[in-house]
């Protein structure tokens, strides 16, 4: 067995700075923003001291609601160095979801950007916390969010009631080097450092608590499996708020001294340009991202000869797409990953040299220091090779638990430490894992987990709806789309567009039903349980070209 690293994220960063001080750490091509590891470390320390200067304590949550803007990654390590817990917020969230997250997580600090994809984040926060406009900064008191103390703008502009990045950096002068070092000395690798809200396997979104030990080690082995080393350059196009970005991306790079060429959003032309001009050796994405580049009319104008490896994850990859990625994009050593937020997130990964069948029909083998088994959902007994059951894993990567939800934690992690994924799969004789389906009703749309109950509860509040069932509709582009199957109250008249309009601006667009149909009854079992799998079958009949 291999040794695991008993280090905090701050210690991992400091080790890399010592080894590779002049290696570029962070690059934003279109902004001319470049920092070496030494410069990146200095920025991290300034922001960390600034947070301490404003009174941020060990164990406080720091929520970040932003796309991949500069300072995002620095904030990830600044919070880690002072023992705060970074809470990553989905950029597609609307007011209803942000309100739930701030309330449930008891967040003390919130960082935001101005707007994103026509959504005014500033206005949303002012609407939720109107006290920001009238109360003195640092003295925030709001009845709706009694724990919330500070709101920050993740940029240089000034906004009423918010601290800007320059103001935060200026506060660093309030903290001595000795106090900063003393704070870091209080930390252990088993402290919670990251919290991500996920639908998980059941219920409303829950706060997954991940430690330095969880994600620091996971990042190390993800990088090892790609043969990352200093000098490699990763074009990071996936969202940082997601584990794909902040663990598979950032922590794989920081562990190995790799340069992060970060894109604020996935725009195929811009990503191809960045790969070309920065001589990137790796790029990450879900299959649809690779397809968008391969099918782009300008694809042949760019040089991909520097590429070697990367990760494709989120949904299965068609064989022909994988062949094109390996041949036309020169990614002969691309890898496939599988996991869930609760497993930090990667539990299995293909290895360099695996066959194309392994890369398209499986999700690889267990990560070092991680065990995977398949269990019979009825009996709990371990299944032999090639027999379908629930995918379970055990190891350093299993989350600390759900925030303030012991019951859900006990349901997810059994007495022997096995995390139950809710996914169905099977192992072959060589330990390669194939994902075959799901035990639960969760919808996965383009890599985003969507729990139907959350959308159902929201739609129950709409006038005219008697009952609603939400299920996944098979989609060629996204794997699944959200379908709403609605029973109307007597006399009520609604059109599908009315349902979509009701959701707009209140819940994330990816949760908004793409397909809506009105029914007179639901398919039921003899005991009266709604058969959602029949709704999915019915959806396939209704929308065969989804």
Q: What is the pLDDT of residues 296-329, one digit of tens each?
A: 999 999 999 999 999 998 777 778 889 999 999 9
CA distance 316 to 479: 9
Dihedral, 406, 408, 412, 417 alpha carbons, nearest 10: 10
Q: Which of 76-80, 203-207, 383-387, 466-470 is predicted with the least confidence, judged by mean pLDDT?
A: 203-207
% of the chain surpassing 70 pLDDT: 97
Average pLDDT over residues 478-485: 92
Q: What is the pLDDT of residues 159-204, one digit of tens each?
A: 999 999 999 999 999 999 999 999 999 999 999 999 999 864 445 7
Task: Enumerate the H helices of 425-495 as residue ranges.
Answer: 452-459
CA distance 374 to 425: 7
Name the strand (E) or helix (H) holding 259. Answer: strand 259-262
Average pLDDT over residues 397-420: 96
Average pLDDT over residues 23-42: 97
Task: Enumerate the H helices of 243-300 as residue ranges.
Answer: 243, 252-256, 268-277, 287-294
CA distance 235 to 254: 14
Say if residue 258's pLDDT is above 70: yes
CA atoms within 13 A on the CB side of 139: 4
Q: Cβ contacts of residue 50 below 8 Å, gap of 6+? A: 78, 168, 169, 170, 171, 172, 175
Residue 201: predicted pLDDT: 42
Q: For the domain with range 9-328, which CATH number is right: 3.10.450.50, 1.10.3720.10, 3.40.50.300, 3.40.50.12780?
A: 3.40.50.12780
Residue 474: predicted pLDDT: 87
Name the strand (E) or helix (H) holding 180. Answer: helix 177-185
| β-pairing verdict for 465-475 and 448-450 | unpaired
Average pLDDT over residues 77-103: 96
CA distance 495 to 511: 18
Q: Which of 57-66, 312-321, 358-367 is predicted with the least confidence, judged by mean pLDDT?
A: 312-321
| β-pairing verdict for 401-402 and 282-285 | unpaired
Say if residue 108's pLDDT is above 90: yes
Cβ–Cβ < 8 Å for 167, 184: no
Cβ–Cβ < 8 Å for 85, 60: yes
Say if residue 345 is preceded by a cis peptide, omega within 30 of 0: yes
Domain 443-542 falls under CATH 3.30.300.30: yes
Instruction: Give span(s): CATH 3.30.300.30, the chain.
Output: 443-542
- Sign (positive or negative) of CA dihedral 440, 445, 447, 453: negative
CA distance 322 to 324: 5
Q: What is the pLDDT of residues 126-168, one digit of tens each?
A: 999 999 999 999 899 999 999 999 999 999 999 999 999 999 9
Residue 203: predicted pLDDT: 55
What does the angle CA 500 – CA 502 – CA 505 come to, to the nearest 5 degrees? Answer: 95
* pLDDT-derived band at 527, boundaries 50, 70, 90: very low
Average pLDDT over residues 27-41: 96
* pLDDT-derived band at 209, boundaries 50, 70, 90: very high
Average pLDDT over residues 497-513: 95
- For the chain, the first-to-last Cα distance in angstroms comes to 46
Query: What are the φ and ψ backbone dihedral angles of 111, each rounded to 5 degrees?
Result: -105, 135
CA distance 460 to 446: 26
DSSP character at residue 233 = E
Query: What are the φ and ψ backbone dihedral angles of 232, each rounded to 5 degrees?
Result: -70, 150
Residue 526: predicted pLDDT: 52
DSSP character at residue 163 = B
The 10 Å Cβ neighbour count of residue 374 is: 23
Average pLDDT over residues 470-475: 89
Instruction: Give span(s): CATH 3.40.50.12780, the chain.
Output: 9-328
Residue 370: predicted pLDDT: 98
Query: What are the φ and ψ backbone dihedral angles of 175, each rounded to 5 degrees?
Result: -115, 125
Nearest alpha-carbon partner for 544 in 466, 476, 454, 456: 476
DSSP class per residue in 297-341: TTGGGS--TT--EEEE-SSPPPHHHHHHHHHHS--TEEEEEEE-G
């Amino acid at each position: 067995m291999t040794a695991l690293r008993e280090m905090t994220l701050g210690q991992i960063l400091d080790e890399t700075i010592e080894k590779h001080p002049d290696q570029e750490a962070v690059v934003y091509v279109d902004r001319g923003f470049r920092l070496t590891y030494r410069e990146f470390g200095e920025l991290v320390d300034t922001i960390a001291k600034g947070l301490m200067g404003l009174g941020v304590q060990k164990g406080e949550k720091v929520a970040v609601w932003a796309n991949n803007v500069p300072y995002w990654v620095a904030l990830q390590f600044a919070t880690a160095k002072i023992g705060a817990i970074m809470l990553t917020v989905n950029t597609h969230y609307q007011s209803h979801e942000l309100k739930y997250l701030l309330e449930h997580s008891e967040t003390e600090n919130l960082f935001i950007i101005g707007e994103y994809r026509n959504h005014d984040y500033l206005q949303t926060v002012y609407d939720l916390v109107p006290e920001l406009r009238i109360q003195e900064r640092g003295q925030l008191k709001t009845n709706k969010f009694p724990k919330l103390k500070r709101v920050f703008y993740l940029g240089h502009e000034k906004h009423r009631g918010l601290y800007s990045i320059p103001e935060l950096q200026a506060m660093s002068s309030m903290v001595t080097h000795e106090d900063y070092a003393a704070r870091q000395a209080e930390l252990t690798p088993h402290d919670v450092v990251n919290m991500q809200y996920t639908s998980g396997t059941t219920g409303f979104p829950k706060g997954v608590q991940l430690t330095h030990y969880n994600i620091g080690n996971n990042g190390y082995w993800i990088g090892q499996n790609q043969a990352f080393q200093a000098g490699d350059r990763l074009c990071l196009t996936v969202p940082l708020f997601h584990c794909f970005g902040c663990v598979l991306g950032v922590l794989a790079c920081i562990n190995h001294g790799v340069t992060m060429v970060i894109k604020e959003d996935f725009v195929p032309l811009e990503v191809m340009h960045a790969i070309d001009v920065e001589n990137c050796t790796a790029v990450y994405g879900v299959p649809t991202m690779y397809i968008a580049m391969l099918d782009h009319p300008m694809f042949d104008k760019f040089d991909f000869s520097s590429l070697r490896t990367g990760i494709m994850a989120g949904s299965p990859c068609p064989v022909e797409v994988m062949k094109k990625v390996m041949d036309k994009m020169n990614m002969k050593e691309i890898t496939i990953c599988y996991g869930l937020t609760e497993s930090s997130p990667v539990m299995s990964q293909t290895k360099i040299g695996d066959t194309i069948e392994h890369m398209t029909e499986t999700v690889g083998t267990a990560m070092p220091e991680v065990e995977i088994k398949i269990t019979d959902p009825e009996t709990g007994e371990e299944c032999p090779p090639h027999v379908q059951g629930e995918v379970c894993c055990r190891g350093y990567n299993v989350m600390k638990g759900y925030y303030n939800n012991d019951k859900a934690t006990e349901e997810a992690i059994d007495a022997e430490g096995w995390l139950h994924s809710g996914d169905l799969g099977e192992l072959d004789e060589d330990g390669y894992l194939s994902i075959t389906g799901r035990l639960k009703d969760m919808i996965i749309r383009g890599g985003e987990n969507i729990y139907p109950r959350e959308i159902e509860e929201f739609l129950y509040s709409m006038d005219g709806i008697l009952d609603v069932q939400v299920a996944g509709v098979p989609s060629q582009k996204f794997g699944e789309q959200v379908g709403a199957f609605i029973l109307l109250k007597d006399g009520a008249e609604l059109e599908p567009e009315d349902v979509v309009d009701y959701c707009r601006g209140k819940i994330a667009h990816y949760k908004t039903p793409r397909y809506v149909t009105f029914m007179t009854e639901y398919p039921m079992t003899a005991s009266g349980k709604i058969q959602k799998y029949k709704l999915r079958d019915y959806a396939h009949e209704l929308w065969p070209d989804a």
